[in-house]
Chain A
């Protein structure tokens, strides 16, 4: 059990950090969580555990994080505001900290219509920025929303997501500034394929001094097939996949496409390493967690630093 944020230590030490997504199972089996997490041990500094991603019912992020924490790995608790009101959210923050979880990522969450419970009421009592602010208030002032004092404050490294590729482009950096102003210590971005457009966004962030105020981790996702690439390009909001990348995926035989996808991912990481203001990467290899180790290794990011407090 760590009870410290490995992610925070790595970033504060000035090392290039690596995080990866680890989705909980659609079931109650603790072993499934541990098995998946085990494939990432030693490959990443922290593991993001998603919160009913795409509005599909899965084991709760909080429970999965607790299991992962007990196994000696550093979890990032992802929290969406879609499913819980401010009472439940603040309560879960306290619970997470009590269980030794030390990182939290505050998100809006995909709309309930996308998932397997489209008849559910979407809560959206707070938005993601307000949630960041609330967690910061709990941690730094020891108060909940409304000002009442907590017996003991939570200890959490606070993160938020950013999408350099969503619209409107000029406003994305204003939103980033709001999240950091609200208290975000680290930012994980949507997966990057269009490095030029990402570079533009990063430059605007740098100009505002944001890259000094928070640790920005660039998101990457290895493409499994040309079909996946085209699907993401055309059907997923907030995604920018240049035709050149589609071309590369289509240009190789089907059996070779996974390899090409990994290759593109590794190249992207190497480019990101050189961009000033990027302090790490966040690998989202959905249903392909086994690839994370290979990607991280080929990108020259192993071994992960052992940071002692």
Chain B
């Protein structure tokens, strides 16, 4: 009887959106347990393809990033760079046969900002069809 393992999402989120606190992060990790690992970063521009790749390599079935809306980045270009780097990562994982949607980007909304918990839900829903990553299958 195969144990249908739950998937793990690695989520890198810009600390400026959504407005969230360290407490909120801890609560979410308690709530979701192994299903999520949260990594706050000072700006999504700080994200490198390597972070996403390492996450996928070591523990994540999906690795996503949340950025500020266009034009709202505190450091001006961070969200733009994050988008390009996610695209590069998608090209790399695709080249070894991993589904492109295992990495992705969520752009925060200026008009209807969502709480971190809501965004986590959205992503889990969005990626629910993916299943465990072939990188972590039991040998």
Direct contact of A and B (CB under 8 A): no
B interface residues (Cβ-Cβ under 8 A, vs A): none
A interface residues (Cβ-Cβ under 8 A, vs B): none
